[in-house]
């Protein structure tokens, strides 16, 4: 739900970094946390405050980033940073999309996905309250090695940022460092970018140089504190893993605060959009992929993997169950060990308790799926077909249902059957070869094999 923020602001998200240290063909901001690309986390955090405009800056040929941004937020604008000439150059590219805009401009980073909506709102509120030209987030990491120090004669107002390598021994003792996120008065930002000069060393344009401009013009820059974990920038696979730990902790706490029991929280992994109801019990070693909704009073047992599925009230899942995309589990239904469901609706009170694959199927209320049942839904070329099993039907163990096929309400299918034709309501179907017993043939067979060998 969007929470209309009382101050007018627009957002620029810098997402053009190639992520060389990730050693990947994938753009850095497309690497996933809790099942979603980093850029999606940043977009979600700011979207709750309903910015006037959101501009995402990407490099040329970053089509996958553009597609992801537009999929999540159709009204986002895309700006192209033709050459990687620093943060100032990137923001200048975005400002072309904000011509005539007046208000606050918030600058976020696509590779800093842990920032929360609450922190963004605090930064914007403090910016408007103090009527400053610039506001920024500051943190106190331990140790602060490598970070730009915030020089403040009169805290919380910043006079300049000094890079770690350029800091004096006294400046290196400063605890407060820059955490990356900044907000600007739009007019000041526009004028400042026009005056920005490239670094003599790198040739890049640095956004932080605008702080010096503000100080020289007797305008103020405000520091707003933020927790170190929120300002985590991700530039490597190891940092990605560190961020995953943090976000999983957040999601586990969120689930438990919402009324779920996690028997071993650290072994349960959620996706960003996982929705968990009240009085849900989740056993150890459970993994949720994207698009899962779990209603109240559900029990999910160990070693289950669930993605793209909805689970209704009172259902029991697992252990060792796999629910794939498009699966709907009805109230009080049971899915047991080594059962896989895909694009399947399992009705109220229905059971599939053992060693089965049910794909592209509609299983009626209170139906029972015996151990080893398979819906043969694929024709081996390109097409999938549906299996329908009526309410109260019973499918015997080791049955193959060759789709498209329908088993009627209350019908019984004998164990070991291969069902290729529809079964009427309340009918019994058997489709297997007749058993033949041959007395004393076993010993004769063994003797024959010994002579051959």
Determine whether 283 is an active site residue.
no
Please report, for residues 255, 262, 274, 281, the alpha-carbon distance to residue 299 in angstroms, rounded to integers and kept in the order given. 14, 10, 15, 5
Helix (H) / strand (E) containing 237:
helix 237-257
User: Assign residue 249 a region: left if phi > 0, alpha if psi is -120 to 50, beta otherwise?
Assistant: alpha
| Strand locations in 248-333 (E) | 261-262, 275-276, 281-282, 287-288, 293-294, 299-300, 305-306, 309-311, 316-317, 322-323, 327-329
Contact 56, 77 (CB under 8 A): yes
> 271: part of which helix (H) or strand (E)?
none
CA atoms within 13 A on the CB side of 363: 37
Q: Which residues pair with 310 in a beta bridge?
A: 293, 328
Q: Which of 48, 130, 305, 354 is catalytic?
A: 354
Residue 168 φ/ψ, nearest 5 degrees:
-75, 170
Strand stretches in 76-133, DSSP E: 77-80, 104-109
Give Cα separations from 274 to 50, 87, 248, 265 (angstroms): 23, 34, 11, 15
Q: Of 364, 391, 386, 383, which is closest to residue 375 (Cα–Cα)?
A: 386
Cα dist. 263→269, 275, 333 in Å? Answer: 13, 18, 22
The percent of the chain in helix, strand and coil, each rounded to the nearest 5, is: 25, 30, 45
β-strand partners of 344? 361
Catalytic center residues: 354
């Amino acid at each position: 739900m969007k929470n209309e923020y009382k101050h007018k602001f627009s957002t620029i998200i810098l997402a053009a970094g190639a992520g060389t240290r990730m050693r990947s063909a994938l753009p850095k901001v497309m690497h996933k946390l809790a099942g979603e690309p980093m850029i999606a986390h940043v977009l979600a955090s700011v979207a709750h405050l309903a910015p006037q405009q959101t501009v995402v800056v990407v490099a040329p040929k970053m089509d996958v980033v553009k597609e992801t941004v537009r999929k999540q937020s159709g009204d986002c604008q895309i700006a192209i940073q033709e050459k990687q000439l620093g943060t100032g150059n990137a923001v200048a590219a975005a400002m072309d999309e904000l011509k005539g805009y007046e208000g606050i401009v918030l600058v976020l980073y696509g590779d800093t996905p842990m920032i929360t909506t609450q922190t963004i709102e605090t930064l914007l509120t403090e910016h408007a309250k103090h009527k400053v030209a610039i506001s920024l987030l500051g943190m106190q990491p331990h140790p602060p090695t490598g970070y730009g120090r915030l020089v403040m004669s009169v805290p919380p107002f910043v006079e300049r940022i000094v890079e770690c390598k350029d800091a004096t021994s006294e400046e290196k003792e400063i605890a407060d460092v820059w955490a990356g996120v900044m907000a600007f008065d739009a007019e000041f930002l526009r004028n400042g970018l026009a005056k920005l000069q490239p670094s003599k060393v790198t040739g890049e344009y640095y956004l932080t140089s605008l702080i010096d401009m503000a100080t020289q013009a007797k305008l103020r820059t405000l520091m707003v504190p933020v927790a170190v974990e929120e300002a985590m920038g991700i530039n490597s696979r190891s940092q990605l893993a560190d961020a995953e730990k943090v976000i999983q902790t957040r999601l586990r706490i969120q689930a438990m605060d919402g009324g779920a029991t996690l028997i071993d929280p650290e072994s349960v992994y959620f996706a960003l959009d996982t929705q968990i109801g009240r009085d849900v019990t989740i056993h150890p070693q459970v993994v949720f992929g994207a698009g899962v909704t779990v209603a109240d009073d559900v029990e999910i047992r160990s070693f289950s993997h669930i993605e793209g599925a909805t689970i209704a009230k009172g259902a029991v899942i697992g252990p060792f169950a796999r629910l794939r995309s498009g699966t709907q589990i009805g109230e009080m239904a049971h899915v047991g060990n080594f059962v896989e469901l895909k694009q399947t609706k399992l009705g109220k009170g229905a059971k599939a308790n053992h060693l089965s694959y049910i794909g592209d199927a509609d299983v009626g209320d209170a139906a029972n799926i015996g151990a080893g049942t398979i819906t043969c839904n694929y024709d081996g070329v390109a097409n999938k077909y549906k299996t329908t099993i009526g309410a109260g039907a019973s499918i015997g163990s080791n049955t193959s249902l060759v789709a498209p096929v329908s088993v009627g309400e209350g019908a019984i299918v004998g164990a070991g059957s291969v069902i290729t034709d529809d079964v009427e309501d309340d009918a019994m179907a058997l489709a297997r070869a007749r058993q033949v017993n041959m007395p004393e043939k076993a010993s004769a067979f063994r003797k024959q094999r010994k002579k051959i060998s």
